[in-house]
Structure 1
Amino acid sequence: MRTLVVGTRALLVELDSAGEVAALHTELLRRRDAGELGPVEDLVPAARTVLLDGVRDPAALGERIARWRVEPLAPGEGPLVTVAVRFDGPDLPGVARLWGVTAREVARIVTGTEFRVAFCGFAPGFGYLTGLPERFRVPRRGSPRTAVPAGSLALAGEYAGVYPRSSPGGWQLIGSTDAVLWDPEREPAALFSPGVRVRFTQEGGGRG
């Protein structure tokens, strides 16, 4: 864990993995809610960092955080969101070949995995989900699509994600869902937020 003062009111904490980011973000939320951090206006996790914004004394807080012993999040810890998915994506056969399994087995692996939202970005409501073992990582497409349909379940590198709206994208599309990922009229607007656990269930219409 490394801490870096950014300007006069912000602190950046650098970590070695998405798992460490999730654990620290959860611990920061807990301590902020308990009034142990002092003023902190915002906590923003990313792939390998957590930004604390609106901090009264970033240097002093960085020294405190550097001394913490933050335990990894336990499986089953944190709120859970379940999303029904059809495994009907155009890249499903290719992902199956990369994994050395059938398309049906890809669905079984994905629905058998507990994902966690590491951080959000790219578009409102898009969560970067971790949880798949390293052997199931897949590359981005060589040629990105100009338009990926909203609700597409996709894989790229160590992450899974669901496109909240139609947009260009280069991830491997393996399924689709009717779940609404972003709704400004809902509280909270985002279905996925950092630290949330995600389980996919098979709705039907998948490939064998």
Structure 2
Amino acid sequence: MTFKIIAVNSLIIYFKQAISEEVLDQVQATYLALKSIEGILDLTPSYCSILVEFDIFIYEHKILERKINQTLRGLALTDENPNKLIKIPTNYKKNLDLEHVAKHNNLSIEEVINIHTQTTYRVYAIGFMLGFAYLATVDNKIATPRLESPRKKVPKGSVALADLQTAIYPQDSAGGWNIIGHTEFDNFHTFEVGDRVQFERL
């Protein structure tokens, strides 16, 4: 774990630079432990780092780093994951690129759908737009690169796939991911880093 100063009132904690559930669990455990520290104003976990914003009238960077290290000393990961499971009802008939994904991977459309729904994904980050959760890890069997030319408009609720990640567009937006289905799910504000997500075929 390393620290990097970002601004007078913020720093980033970096963990092992790898996208994995092991690192994500470390990020989550650290995030939960730091929430109780007085003077920390905001925490933004993502993939393998946490952005920490703090009250400059309470901490200087080095003092906060020592406080964080003291708080995390002896911190142990448990098998009890506090993150919720979110199920996403998905209509795979409403798609734009499912056939393309199937052809790219030498699979049938049915096989792509089965593989996509058999995986339990984790929320690794939230960004790009409010409520846009980056979900991983997509099975290599259906991994497909982003479109060469992004669309000017992707409808809200589009279930998308790009490389080893999948996601849901929380609002109409430009985008270059492969659209493989659609959902009426609308509780995008409930996504938190670390949550588990399953897609269920309608």
Mark yes or no: TM-score above 0.5.
yes
1:109-128 deviations in whole A, cap 9, x for unaligned? 11110111111111111101
Q: Does 1:110 align with 2:116?
A: yes
Runs of 4+ in 1 over 4 A off after TM superposition: 63-77
Alignment-derived partner of residue 130 in structure 1: 136
Change (3 A) 1:27 1:114: same
1:156-206 deviations in whole A, cap 9, x for unaligned? 122111001111100000000011144xxxxxxx13221111111001xxx
Shift of the alpha carbon at 1:70? 7.3
Task: Give the Cα separation in 1 of the matches to 2:111 and 2:130.
Answer: 31
Task: Give the Cα separation in 2 of the matches to 1:131 and 1:121.
Answer: 17
1:45-77 deviations in whole A, cap 9, x for unaligned? 234432011162433443554986877786966
Task: Give the Cα separation in 2 of the matches to 1:202 and 1:101.
Answer: 18
Given the two structures, how large is their TM-score scaled by the length of structure 1?
0.80
Task: Give the Cα separation in 1 of the matches to 2:3 and 2:49.
Answer: 9
Matching residue's letter, 2:194: G
Runs of 5+ unmatched residues, structure 1: 183-189, 204-208
Tell me if the contact between 2:27 and 2:48 (Cα under 8 Å) persists in the aligned partners: no
Change (3 A) 1:30 1:191: closer
Alignment-derived partner of residue 50 in structure 1: 50
Task: Give the Cα separation in 2 of the matches to 1:117 and 1:70.
Answer: 22
Change (3 A) 1:40 1:75: same
Task: Give the Cα separation in 1 of the matches to 2:151 and 2:78.
Answer: 35
Change (3 A) 1:134 1:58: farther
Runs of 5+ unmatched residues, structure 2: none
**Correspondence list, 1:5-154, <5 A:** 5-15=5-15, 16-19=17-20, 22-33=24-35, 35=36, 37-54=37-54, 56-62=59-65, 64-65=68-69, 78-88=83-93, 89-154=95-160
Shift of the alpha carbon at 1:5? 2.0
Task: Give the Cα separation in 1 of the matches to 2:99 and 2:69.
Answer: 45
Alignment-derived partner of residue 196 in structure 2: 197
Alignment-derived partner of residue 4 in structure 1: 4
Given the two structures, how large is their TM-score scaled by the length of structure 2?
0.83
Task: Give the Cα separation in 2 of the matches to 1:86 and 1:201.
Answer: 9
Question: How well do the aligned residues superpose, as a CA RMSD in angstroms?
Answer: 2.6
Change (3 A) 1:174 1:150: same
Alignment-derived partner of residue 181 in structure 2: 175
Alignment-derived partner of residue 167 in structure 2: 161
Tell me if the contact between 2:28 and 2:45 (Cα under 8 Å) persists in the aligned partners: no
Change (3 A) 1:65 1:119: farther
Matching residue's letter, 2:148: G
Task: Give the Cα separation in 1 of the matches to 2:85 and 2:150.
Answer: 31
SS of structure 2 residue aligned to 1:52 = strand
Number of matched pairs = 194
SS of structure 2 residue aligned to 1:101 = coil
